[in-house]
Structures are given as structure tokens and as C-alpha cells.
Amino acid sequence: MRTFRDAKIMAKALRQGLGKKRIELSHSECLELVARQFDCENWHVLSARIETASAANTSSLRLPDGWIVSGSRPELYEMGVDPDMPGSPAIIRSLSMEEPAGRGGFGTLMQSIQATGFRGMNLRLSAELKTEDVRGSGTLWMRIDRGPGNTLRFDNMEGPRADGSLKGSHDWTRREIILDVPDDAESVHFGFYLYGTGCVLARNVELVEADEQAMAGRRTYPERPTNLGFTQVSAG
């Protein structure tokens, strides 16, 4: 989701798009057109607006109670709830749509709780996610620790899986993670994050014991390894 902070990259994309149609405009002319898209009289007005916002780092988002901001590069993102948005989903959005801004980093809204009441359970984290122009990934994540730096279980839905992290733009999509909580677990950490650029929204978050129906849908694995010598080959 582009904002007025992305005016320069929008002007560049506009110039390139018009060039493919053999319409030649200078970069300055494209900046003027982008400024008008944001209801500014000219580029100088929009440029001043960008400088003011960057200096103040203003945001309409408010941090919801019980949640904390974290991640490897949280300063690259706005995170929280927009009080004026219907349903008040939680939002993580990059401050810039330029590719280098989020490269190698992510921002997350998360909680950390004691694992005592969940020991021996299969714990299910679920939520509905919506993404807008995500270049990277938007996803749920959950981690179970024995202690600081001692992770017992972890899943962030990344990797080649049909029900995994979301890229690009998607309407509300349900995602869930199920992890078993060992008897020596001390803490549970969970939330959702945005890696790269764009915007991810979350609503209807639940953290509960997984029922039989949820467990039946999980991927099952063989009890023992087989064919380690590659001697058995399927016909055809």
C-alpha cells in the first residue's frame, strides 16, 4: 500500500510506464503529477509534507494493549491499530515501498506468555490475514521456548507450502499453526509479521488447544525412515 512517502518511486514508475507507450515526460513532470494525486498543489508542497512526516515519524496507528512491537528492523514499519478502521484489525505496514527498505528485516506485533497452562497440549494459533502489495511475506508465527535462546518448537509458515505465508495482495485468508507444547516448556511467543515491504493486516486471532478436527487435518509422518540405500524404486 503506497503512501505519500513513496512519491519518488511512484514518479519513476509513472515515467517508465508512460515511456513504454511512447509518452515522454521528465522526472520533474512526473513528480508534479504524483503530487496532485495526493491533493498537493505541486511537488514542493508534497516534498515539504514528506520531510515533516519523516522528522516527526507520525503515525495514526495505536499499539493495542497486551501487544508489543518487535522484529529485526521494527523502525522500518508502522504497527498497531487504526481507531478509524472498521473492525480495528491490527496493521503492519512498511514506511517505504522501495525494495531496499525492508530487505533483510521484518517487523512484528507479538505477545509472550507463560507455557505452564499449555504443557502437554497441542496449541493452535489462528487468524485471518490480509495483504496489500507485499514484496516479501506476511505471516503468522509461534515459538515455544524452554528458556532464553533455547527454542523447543517454531513455525512461521515460510517455505513451499500451500497454506503458508502470503505474498502480493490477498483478501482475508485464514491461517493457522499447531505446535505441541513439551512438558518442560517455559514460554510461548506468537504474533504476525511483515518481511519486506507492503502491508499486512490481522483479525480474529485465537490461541487455543487444538481440537480433534484440527489435528486430523495435520500432515502425518512415518514412524521410521525407509529406503535409506535408495534400493527401492517406484515403477513407471
Q: Among candidates 103, 108, 115, 70, which has minimal Cα distance to 91?
A: 108
**0.85 cut: is pTM over it?**
no
| Class of residue 222 by CB neighbours under 10 A (exposed 0-12, middle 13-18, buried 19+) | exposed
The domains located in the chain, with CATH, are 4-56 (no CATH), 68-212 (2.60.120.260)
Are 18 and 108 a contacting pair, CB within 8 Å?
Answer: no
Amino acid at 78: E
Alpha helices in 21-81 (DSSP H): 27-37, 43-56
Q: In this predicted model, what pLDDT tens digit does every residue of 160-175 receive, in sequence order?
A: 888 899 999 999 999 9
Q: In this predicted model, what pLDDT tens digit does every residue of 125-164 receive, in sequence order?
A: 999 999 999 999 999 999 999 988 899 999 999 988 888 9
Kindly list the distances between the CA atom of residue 107 and the CA atoms of 118, 148, 180, in Å, as whole numbers in the listed order. Answer: 27, 20, 26
Q: In this predicted model, what pLDDT tens digit does every residue of 10-67 receive, in sequence order?
A: 888 899 999 999 999 999 999 999 999 888 889 988 888 777 655 545 567 899 999 9
